[in-house]
Amino acid sequence: MANLNNPAKPALLDRLTEFPRLTLTQAPTPIEPLPRLGADLGIELFVKRDDMTGLAMGGNKARQLEFYFGAAQAAKADTILITGAVQSNFIRMAAAAAARLGMAAHVQLEDRVPGMGADYARSGNVLLLDILGAKIHTYPHGEDEAGADARLHHMAAELRAQGRRPYVIPLAPNHPPLGALGYVVAAQEISDQMAAAERDFDCVVVASGSGLTHGGLLFGLRACGRTMAVQGICVRRPEAAQRPRIAAKCQEIADLLGVASPVTAADIQLDDEALAPGYGRPSAAVKHAIRLTAAREGLLLDPVYTGKVMAGLIVLARGGAWKKGARVLFIHTGGTPALFAYGEELRGE
């Protein structure tokens, strides 16, 4: 049933404050209605504007980085290292945070989406990285999580030998999911906004990539006593591969906080209808979702993540996943600089 009151601050989250955290986000980010797009889809649609976190054009990674940079500063690091896709928003915002904190940034760009054009290689997030003054390294061996990680640690060892104090932002599996704590915090923020506006949601729709965002949000909402559906949209790998990742992520968050997980197997909802043809490759449905959201609401989505999430949301709405007038909250996780890297894929119909 609708739970309009602000549930008491849950003891489950007491330990959150024990983790070092820097303020890199302008929060709370707004929740806004999307009435025209919602009417098209027969639902009451809202957007959580996490594209407005601030930090070099903003996005969900600002919240995650508050905890990684908290850990880096606690370790007295003067240099951060991070690896990811060429058009990674995480890397762009990590470079911005490093600049703001007077630290050096060594970034490694992995060629996870081969065959893209010149804009992909040089514009969007890559241009911003260059402007932000990051030291850019490339990893040309395609999708190879372990290899890319080993190379990053090798670079860290070299920097240490030169007298630097490097901190590798630990994103590979089997590291505690510090960044997910940023979305546990975001879940509390959403719960507080719901209470203040006396507004309930039937479903929250969010990108499911590494799962730090999806896992953190699901964990945090359940810890706050919020029972609405949390629908993950696969942007990186198919549903069957993503499900155990999210389950593991939620358990790792519980372990990190030293509590029992409030998340059950049935809480993990995933849909991969919009994933094809694969990570970082927008389909015609994604292009349509981006252009429809822009035309109806003046809201810009991105081609890698939020465009896919909106395409997935549209498939679910048109397929009758929600009753008419259901209240759905779309999490805008940012990523808009990548629009300029995908100009050829997104231009006119």
Ligand X SMILES: *Cc1c(COP(=O)(O)O)cnc(C)c1O
Residue 208 appears among annotated catalytic residues? no
Nearest residue by C-beta to ligand X?
335
Residue 318 neighbours by CB under 8 Å, 6+ apart? 41
- What minimum distance in Å lies between the beta carbon of 279 and ligand X? 11
CB closer to ligand X, 215 vs 326: 215
- What minimum distance in Å lies between the beta carbon of 128 and ligand X? 13
- What minimum distance in Å lies between the beta carbon of 93 and ligand X? 8
CB closer to ligand X, 208 vs 261: 208
Specify the pairing of strand 79-85 against strand 166-168. parallel
Backbone angles phi, psi at 132, to 5 degrees: -75, -10
Integer Cα distance of 175 and 169 in angstroms: 10
Q: State the virtual CA torsion across 213, 218, 221, 223 in degrees, nearest 10.
A: -110
Binding site for ligand X (CB under 6 A): 59-61, 89-90, 207-214, 302, 305-306, 333-335
The H or E element spanning position 157 is helix 145-161
Contact 158, 193 (CB under 8 A): no
The total number of residues written for the chain in this structure: 349
CB closer to ligand X, 207 vs 317: 207
CB closer to ligand X, 81 vs 181: 181
The H or E element spanning position 316 is helix 306-318
Number of other residues whose CB lies within 10 A of the CB of residue 315: 16
CB closer to ligand X, 62 vs 326: 62
Q: State the virtual CA torsion across 332, 333, 334, 335 in degrees, nearest 10.
A: -120
Per the DSSP assignment, residues forming a β-bridge with 271 are 233
Catalytic residue among 88, 123, 208, 210: 88
- What minimum distance in Å lies between the beta carbon of 333 and ligand X? 3
- What minimum distance in Å lies between the beta carbon of 197 and ligand X? 24
Residues acting as catalytic residues: 88
